[in-house]
Chains A and B, each alone.
Chain A
Amino acid sequence: MALDKNDVEKIAHLARLQINDTDITEVTQRISNILGMIDQMQSVDTSAVSAMAHPFDAGQRLRADQVTERNQRDYYQSIASATQDGLYLVPRVIE
């Protein structure tokens, strides 16, 4: 399926990706080419086939609901761009 520039801008917004205006034509073309290749799937009748999410159709193994991790907040935050009082700092949302 071919996409247009507006479609790509909408997808980029959903994915929270900034795409430069100068790149948008090329990105649109390349994603359309990829979707064209993917569309080979549509010629196959899969109405009687069930979807497969896991190679062995296995479910998630659950563990006991116990605390197993020790608190390493300060260590983990040592690689953050900006923190204060144990919180991550981000720009103001409401100005």
Chain B
Amino acid sequence: MLSKTVAELAGALTRKEVSARELTQAYLDRIHQLNPALNAYVTITAEQALAQADAADARRAQGNAGPLTGIPIAHKDIFCTRGVLTACGSHMLHNFIAPYDACVVERLEQAGAVMLGKTNMDEFAMGSSNETSWFGPVRNPWDQARVPGGSSGGSAAAVAASLCAMATGTDTGGSIRQPASFCGLTGLKPTYGRVSRWGMIAFASSLDQAGPLTRSAEDAALMMNAIAGTDQRDSTCLELPFEDFTAQLNQPLNGLRIGLPREHFTKDLNPAVQAILQEAIRQLEILGATFKEVTLPNNYLSVPAYYVIAPAEASANLSRFDGVRFGYRCANPANLDDLYKRSRGEGFGDEVKRRIMVGTYALSAGYYDAYYIKAQKIRRLIKQDFDLAFNDVDLILGPTSPHTAFKLGEKVSDPVTMYLEDIYTIAVNLAGLPGMSLPAGMLNGLPIGMQLVGPSLSESRLLNVAHQFQKSTDWHTQRPEV
């Protein structure tokens, strides 16, 4: 029961095969059993969850239930949750009880979802392995010697290990898609501005987007129906009419034109991953899609440009953590400058400090044009590559990650190697486009995802293609033995 999709669980709740309370209690029991080993959750809100489950059961009895009513969810610990610890993977916020709910949390609660707790993550979402968390690394349910990916690693591990039915994640450079690939899930990073960032602790404000981590494209569509949409409290949130992301799921793929970026299918890509993608391409051809080569000539510049823009924005966003109003404060500060420097020096981990310093350097007098403005110009070149490609094709298919989940400790000592993990995902954030990862195959017992990228606001089309692929394959139904 616990490994079923949201759509299946909603059916079971409607048919009264199970109550929201029973379902919630069963997930809580499994969390208590497995979380000590996996470290996917950092906070478990059992009492609150059972109260929300009872409210969901009452709502269903009154005939007011929607598809997410009574479905247990985990929230990445980057989302503010009123009255609940919101630590963002950091010692800096180890004592931060958020005074309000993030828009995403609020909307899922309104839809009747039951919050089981908050999930582990790389500190301030800065990482690709979940190893920078102050709460320790998360283990991949497929192989506990391996990382779940990052930064939304706890959310991905929780969904994969059936410690919740669905989870929220955020994606600044691949932080939903890469963990989805490593854990065998469907993960969607929406178009920039689709989902409100209000109450989501900011990392790089021009890149951050929230999205779903689920067991199927259909589930991702159901979550998108709840979380997407205008929010006056986020001035970058797009003003769009309500869109039903499930409406196009069953559309046939005849006539669909998919581009394969020449730069993604090179000798740098693991041949076994390449073979899995070729098999997925054949499957999509059977479903009616046609393929042609496209080119993204500036993709190789996406990692360098990102590691200027994201740290620059982070250095500004994280300046609010100063030891004064909330969060970690050092002991016995000698004066105000000492309070700032030691609170931040002791409160932030090494990766966060590195990125703040790179960003501070890129924005400092004398280097601003050479780094920050240069990176913004390259950002436009990257966006233009996609615009040109989408003149010829409806969407782009390629790898999410160069390989399957790597071992804990394997890359953590070399930041630049870790940064290059996101070579296929980062350009999508720089261009503000929607991208998703869905399971495409298995390699030595580990899942591997493929990435679909579409033009702005094409989420319904991406979900449609993913759903049709999932109807004709069973990679997304594989579950780890935990």
**Given A18-B344, A55-B383, A61-B235; A34-B354 close (CB under 8 Å):** yes
The CA-CA distance from A15 to B303 in the complex, in Å, is: 23
Residue in contact with B374 in the complex, picked from A17, A37, A41, A90, CB distance below 8 Å: A41
Mark contacts of B401-420 with chain A using CB atoms, 8 A cut-off: 1 yes-contact digit, 0 otherwise: 00000000000000110010
Interface centre among A31, A72, A77, A93 (most CB of B within 10 A): A31
The CA-CA distance from A62 to B239 in the complex, in Å, is: 12
Residue in contact with A42 in the complex, picked from B96, B346, B374, CB distance below 8 Å: B374
**A44 within 8 Å of B by Cβ?**
yes
**A40 near B301: Cβ-Cβ < 8 Å:** yes
**B371 within 8 Å of A by Cβ?**
yes
User: In the complex, which residues of chain A have a beta carbon less than 8 angstroms from the beta carbon of B415?
Assistant: 30, 33-34
The CA-CA distance from A92 to B332 in the complex, in Å, is: 12
Residue in contact with B335 in the complex, picked from A50, A88, A92, CB distance below 8 Å: A92
Residue in contact with A17 in the complex, picked from B341, B361, B376, CB distance below 8 Å: B341
The CA-CA distance from A36 to B314 in the complex, in Å, is: 20
**A46 near B377: Cβ-Cβ < 8 Å:** yes
A-side interface size class: 35 or more
**B344 near A27: Cβ-Cβ < 8 Å:** no
Q: B338 — nearest CB in chain A belongs to which residue?
A: A91
Q: B334 — nearest CB in chain A belongs to which residue?
A: A91
**A85 within 8 Å of B by Cβ?**
no
B-side interface size class: 35 or more
**B326 near A80: Cβ-Cβ < 8 Å:** yes
User: In the complex, which residues of chain B have a beta carbon less than 8 angstroms from the beta carbon of A54?
Assistant: 206, 236, 432
Which residues 420-468 of B sit at the A interface, judged by CB distance below 8 A? 430-433, 456
- Shortest B143–chain A CB gap in Å is 29
The CA-CA distance from A3 to B364 in the complex, in Å, is: 14
**B89 within 8 Å of A by Cβ?**
no
Which residues 290-336 of B sit at the A interface, judged by CB distance below 8 A? 298, 300-301, 303-305, 307-308, 315, 319, 322-326, 329, 333-336
**B95 near A90: Cβ-Cβ < 8 Å:** no
Interface centre among A35, A42, A80, A88 (most CB of B within 10 A): A35
**A60 within 8 Å of B by Cβ?**
yes
The CA-CA distance from A35 to B18 in the complex, in Å, is: 55
**A52 near B380: Cβ-Cβ < 8 Å:** yes
The CA-CA distance from A81 to B375 in the complex, in Å, is: 39
Mark contacts of A24-68 with chain B using CB atoms, 8 A cut-off: 1 yes-contact digit, 0 otherwise: 000100110111111111101010011111111010111100000
Q: A56 — nearest CB in chain B belongs to which residue?
A: B432
Q: DSSP class of A's interface residues: helix, strand, loop or mixed?
A: loop
Q: A38 — nearest CB in chain B belongs to which residue?
A: B304
**B256 within 8 Å of A by Cβ?**
no
**A91 near B416: Cβ-Cβ < 8 Å:** no
**Given A14-B360, A79-B95, A79-B97; A27-B354 close (CB under 8 Å):** yes
Interface centre among A37, A78, A81 (most CB of B within 10 A): A81
**B357 near A8: Cβ-Cβ < 8 Å:** yes
**B326 near A55: Cβ-Cβ < 8 Å:** no
User: In the complex, which residues of chain A have a beta carbon less than 8 angstroms from the beta carbon of B479?
Assistant: none
**B390 within 8 Å of A by Cβ?**
no
The CA-CA distance from A14 to B341 in the complex, in Å, is: 10
The CA-CA distance from A28 to B20 in the complex, in Å, is: 53
Residue in contact with A91 in the complex, picked from B301, B336, B344, CB distance below 8 Å: B336
The CA-CA distance from A20 to B323 in the complex, in Å, is: 19
User: In the complex, which residues of chain B have a beta carbon less than 8 angstroms from the beta carbon of A2?
Assistant: none
**A52 near B379: Cβ-Cβ < 8 Å:** yes
Mark contacts of A67-79 with chain B using CB atoms, 8 A cut-off: 1 yes-contact digit, 0 otherwise: 0000010011111
**B356 near A34: Cβ-Cβ < 8 Å:** no
- Shortest A41–chain B CB gap in Å is 5
**A19 near B353: Cβ-Cβ < 8 Å:** yes
The CA-CA distance from A53 to B298 in the complex, in Å, is: 17
**A18 near B346: Cβ-Cβ < 8 Å:** yes
Mark contacts of B220-241 with chain A using CB atoms, 8 A cut-off: 1 yes-contact digit, 0 otherwise: 0000000000001001100100
- Shortest A5–chain B CB gap in Å is 13
**Cβ contacts A to B, 30 pairs, < 8 Å:** A3-B361, A11-B357, A11-B364, A14-B364, A18-B346, A19-B353, A27-B353, A27-B354, A30-B354, A31-B354, A35-B358, A37-B307, A37-B416, A37-B419, A38-B358, A41-B304, A41-B378, A42-B370, A42-B374, A46-B377, A51-B376, A52-B377, A56-B193, A63-B232, A75-B99, A79-B95, A79-B96, A80-B325, A81-B323, A90-B333
Nearest 8 CB-CB pairings of A with B: A55-B432, A18-B345, A51-B376, A52-B380, A46-B377, A18-B341, A16-B340, A15-B360
A33-B416, A56-B193, A90-B324 are known contacts; what are 15 more A-B pairs with Cβ within 8 Å? A16-B322, A37-B307, A40-B300, A41-B304, A41-B374, A46-B381, A55-B383, A60-B236, A72-B99, A75-B99, A79-B96, A80-B325, A81-B326, A91-B334, A92-B335
